Amino acid sequence: MSQPIITGIASFGMSGKLFHAPFIDASPHYELRAIVERHKEESRERYPNAKLYRSFDELIADPEIELVIVNTPVQTHFEYSKKALEAGKNIVVEKPFMVNAGQAAQIDALANEKNLFLSVYQNRRYDGDYKAIKDVVSENMLGELKEVELRYDRYRPGHSGKAHKEGDQPGAGNLHDLGAHLIDQALQLFGFPEAVFADILTMRTELIANDYFEVLLFYPRPFRVRIKGTVFAKESPYPFVLQGENGTFLQQRSDLQESKLLEGVKPSIEPWISTPEGFDGVLHTTINGLDVQQQTRSEMGNYMNYYEDVYRALRNHGPNPVPASDAVLTMRVIDAALQSSKERRVVTL
């Protein structure tokens, strides 16, 4: 077997604790060598074999570390990614990739210039509910699609106290935070749009950053994709709605991985969570002239597959699971959406 990838994590906040360290530690293809905590020492208890560094500069100065996880606030992604690449490190960058498309393109170009690996952590591509949507689209179950809505709704009327997400810095706000997931999924499913129209607001009046967004993606044919997110939804419609010439598919956001990780369940390469209880989707369509109405159940997702794909890319010349070029396109849509909302007009891409 190839040597494990010696890995360091740049931060031990929520993403480090939930989405990165548990998976790296559980995989035989990685060695969790170091974690950065500026003041605390929480990582020592969970990962006693990992070194504790107090700064990002210490992390990238470690000659044994091959892969650096840049999971710090998005406002630092450009600086830290640039530093890591210039230090000769391969990197995985947490979403949102950068503050804007200009930064994203620069870091992508630098990685290519240095011939280093750069991937963006879009873990929602590995959700079971997204896979269900992907299967419906790829198998053309609804005929030619006419309208799609992707939503990420929450009920969080209070503020989190996280300035990098809710303050006045560039890159803060719900569009960058959760919209980046939905836009990435839309681009993977339907390609890059030709234009964008957006309505982006701050509904929690005590905050500065946006917490509501509605983004309409225009395509050359008569087809629209609507992307929405709010923090005032105790109840919400189906988060995935696909309407085609032959039928409709409705899918709940039912993937259990994040909730199980919050409960302390340890992930693994093998399936480590159960499928959703009961049915979580509805398919009503016409197939071969027959009317089909059925409830559906999505498969299990596994975020470990992202890191296994990264391993294959680094050790076996496999494809990059989320190349930076994908994230550059996502950032272009985000930039256009912000411009559209500000200027109250359709922005051509």
Q: What is 296-347 written as a DSSP string? A: E-PPPP-THHHHHHHHHHHHH-PPPSSBHHHHHHHHHHHHHHHHHHHHTS-E
Instruction: Count other C-beta atoms under 10 Å from residue 297's C-beta.
Output: 14
Q: Mean pLDDT throughout 106-116?
A: 99
CB 281 within 8 A of CB 132: yes
pLDDT: which is higher, 61 or 278: 61
Query: Domains in the chain, start-ordered, CATH in brackets?
Result: 5-121 (3.40.50.720), 125-301+332-348 (3.30.360.10)
Q: Mean pLDDT throughout 162-184?
A: 90
Question: What are the residues whose beta carbons fall under 8 Å from the beta carbon of 88, sequence distance 6 or more?
Answer: 114, 116
| Burial class (CB within 10 angstroms; exposed 0-12, middle 13-18, buried 19+) of 305 | middle
User: 209 pLDDT band (50/70/90 cuts)?
Assistant: very high
pLDDT in tens, 128-153: 999 999 999 999 999 999 999 999 99
User: 276 pLDDT band (50/70/90 cuts)?
Assistant: confident
Helix (H, G, I), strand (E, B) or coil at 138: helix
User: 314 pLDDT band (50/70/90 cuts)?
Assistant: very high
User: 159 pLDDT band (50/70/90 cuts)?
Assistant: confident
* pLDDT > 90? residue 208: no
Q: d(Cα 73, Cα 183) in Å, to the nearest integer? A: 20
Closest by alpha carbon to 23, among 1, 5, 40? 5
Characterize the bridge pairing of strands 118-121 and 145-153. unpaired
pLDDT given at position 248:
99
pTM of the model: 0.95
User: 164 pLDDT band (50/70/90 cuts)?
Assistant: confident
pLDDT given at position 1:
62
Write down the mean pLDDT value for the chain: 96
pLDDT in tens, 37-48: 999 999 999 999
